Structure 1
Amino acid sequence: MKYGIIGAGAMGYRYGVMLQANAGVEVDFIDTWEPNVEQVKAQGGVRVARDHQNAHVVPINIYYPEDYQGHPDVWIIFKKQMQLADELKRDAPLFHDDQYVFSAMNGMGHFEKIAQYFPHQHIVGGTAMIATVLNGPADVDFMGAVGSEVMHMGMYEGTQDATVKQIVRDFTAAGLNPSWSDNFMGMCMSKVVFNAVTNSLCTMFEIQMGQFISYPGVRAMATQMFNEAYDACERAGIKLIETRQEEIDSVETVSRAYQYHYPSMYQDFSKGRPTEVDYINGYIAKIGREHDYVCRVHEFVTHEVHLAETMRQFKKDKNAVPAS
């Protein structure tokens, strides 16, 4: 099958390059960030490293939406939540009823937007415990050893058909290590509540995951935040695919495995971009409010991240000479 990647960023490059290189399938990349597209064209592909080592240029096909004439069997979407609605509107002329779509974006809210353009039975959702860093235009770093990739997949509606089964086979051949789940919301929310701890707290304190886990109180903080999220989900009738204890334990194991990694929320924050906290901690809080349960910690953390975003304007240039 042929794949089209919408969003040639950190995760879009990770999925597309691994599918192209390991599964041997045809992949096209669609992107709207001009420096990224032009740099790919200038250097003949995307520069790929793994854990800062063995950087090399991988040839890829990349297009602006308006220039693309292809017809992929499957679209793979990786955009920031805040950008998705405008991106889908711009890409809409490329979509056809026979196409399928997969997305494993951070946070929640994207599937409702995607469902406006594709048959619900053609939407495959996912979560990815795969750390990747976009260093700059056409320059990506795959974090973690080969084979360390972990992801889940599930149907937005309906059951697997022949095309979906082929997607799973291609992802497996690519080395993305997919696991199938029939519990769509439980699968998605398990990743959201994990990110609500690691992404948000690392961002507020501008630290790597290894630095984060060095604090002795992390387990107690994670327990408090997970318990609140699980309580909200239970009231909404959502059963997560991992137990509370498994989520708590995963904070330590994942943070140690990716000790030098800055979560994606921090990567946005450090570059002066808005974060996706409203689609992570804010989404958990929204579920709580809708079911008469106030997620006080997640409401507070959402405000704290937005406060940190606002305070960026007051940070002085470290290299500036102080006034006499």
Structure 2
Amino acid sequence: MIGAGAMGYRYGVLLQELAGVPVDYIDTWQPNIDAVRQQGGVYVSRDHADRHLVPINMYTPEEYEGNPDVWMVFMKQMQLETMLQRCAHLFKDHQVVFSAMNGWGHFEKINQYFPENRIYGGTALVATVLNGPGDVDFMGKAGAGTMEMCAMNEEITAVEEALAADFQTAGFNPTITQNFHGTCLAKIIFNAVANTICTMYQIRMGQFISFPGALSMAEQLINEAYDACERAGYQMTRSRQEELKAIEISSRVTNPLHYPSMYQDLTAGRPTEVDYINGYIAHLGRQHDYICRTHEFLVQGVHLAELAFRIHTQEAQMR
């Protein structure tokens, strides 16, 4: 597992505990590494309850000497290039890589080290919160999330089927598709609505969807994004109404108490990934003579929220 953050922990721990798969973790955040080594593992909760210690093995890229069959990558987009450079000496010809990171930009970076026939992308509709170093909280009932996965070359292989079987046993409910861009874009558009709006207004997903105008706002963003994707020649894996319904169900039923990962980055003082989510949609539109005005506005809105949060934090420290 390259990246021991919220999603890296969730996939790794459940694969280890439920599917019986041996998992090693590679991370570079020193407080996280120190906490895991001092504790003997990572503390795991579900919906803020049943906190318990799960033993895991964690290494820096330079320390690791393992030879896994599968690399799973869950990093922030801004950190990925440096991490791949530090791990490059570990990559072998027999290995494959799977990633369900937010946004777009990671596959081009991964493709510098692995050919398309050994890259698997996906989406993960599961909510997780990193409380702090060595401490993670899985949101939602066990087995409630879903995911899609697709080979970058769109060919189904025995390796992909084996990965899907492990994901199923671990409770992620995977579906294999043969539309790489359409599969990954569905999650980008999902995040471009729920993550971005919840971050700008610092609210939970359930609070967003309870707002009377939420579905209208979501529909506007979805339509704009689909227009851009269709102009780029991408065939989506679900209709606009299905995308809207997925956002509503996740926000209202599955994860109403969840603060999305972009919000978690904002409130921790970290840069958000909005440039790789709404920004990617806006860039795709402009590449094909279509201006995604709402997405472009939201990119600037989130960056303004980042600035405002820093200002408020500094003012509070000065009092």
TM-score when scaled to structure 2? 0.97
Cα deviation digits, residues 5-59 of structure 1 (max 9, x gap): 0001100000001111111111101110111011111111100011111000000
The alpha-carbon deviation at position 309 of structure 1 amounts to: 1.1
CA distance in 1, matches of 2:110, 2:38: 32
Q: CA RMSD in A?
A: 1.3
Q: Which residue number corresponds to residue 195 of structure 1?
A: 191
Out of 4, 11, 34, the position equivalent to 1:8 is 4
Partner of 1:267, secondary structure, is helix
Return 5-14 or 159-168, whichever deviates more.
Answer: 159-168
CA contact (8 A) 2:154 2:180 kept: no
The alpha-carbon deviation at position 110 of structure 1 amounts to: 0.4
Is 1:280–2:284 an aligned residue pair? no
Q: Which residue number corresponds to residue 114 of structure 2?
A: 118
Segments of structure 2 that go 5 or more residues without pairing to the other structure are none
Tell me the amino acid that sits aligned with residue 303 of structure 1. Answer: Q
Is 1:30–2:26 an aligned residue pair? yes
Partner of 2:97, secondary structure, is strand
CA distance in 2, matches of 1:321, 1:76: 42
The alpha-carbon deviation at position 321 of structure 1 amounts to: 8.4
CA distance in 2, matches of 1:278, 1:316: 23
**Measured at CA, do residues 133 and 216 of structure 1 come closer, stay the same or move farther in structure 2, by a change above 3 Å?**
same
Out of 149, 158, 165, the position equivalent to 1:162 is 158
Return 110-119 or 168-177, whichever deviates more.
Answer: 168-177
Tell me the amino acid that sits aligned with residue 76 of structure 2. Answer: K
CA contact (8 A) 2:267 2:309 kept: no
Partner of 2:23, secondary structure, is strand
CA distance in 2, matches of 1:120, 1:44: 37
Cα deviation digits, residues 51-75 of structure 1 (max 9, x gap): 1110000001111111111000000
Q: Which residue number corresponds to residue 65 of structure 1?
A: 61
Cα deviation digits, residues 275-321 of structure 1 (max 9, x gap): 00000000000110000001011011111111111222321568668
User: Identity of counterpart residues, as a percentage?
Assistant: 58
Q: Which residue number corresponds to residue 293 of structure 1?
A: 290
CA distance in 2, matches of 1:316, 1:175: 39
CA distance in 1, matches of 2:236, 2:270: 30
**Measured at CA, do residues 96 and 205 of structure 1 come closer, stay the same or move farther in structure 2, by a change above 3 Å?**
same
CA contact (8 A) 2:266 2:309 kept: no
Q: After the TM superposition, list the runs of 4 or more consecutive aligned residues in structure 1 that deviate by more than 4 angstroms.
A: 316-322
**Measured at CA, do residues 162 and 71 of structure 1 come closer, stay the same or move farther in structure 2, by a change above 3 Å?**
same
Segments of structure 1 that go 5 or more residues without pairing to the other structure are none
Q: Which residue number corresponds to residue 303 of structure 1?
A: 300
Alignment: residue pair count: 318
CA distance in 1, matches of 2:302, 2:14: 33
Q: Which residue number corresponds to residue 262 of structure 2?
A: 265
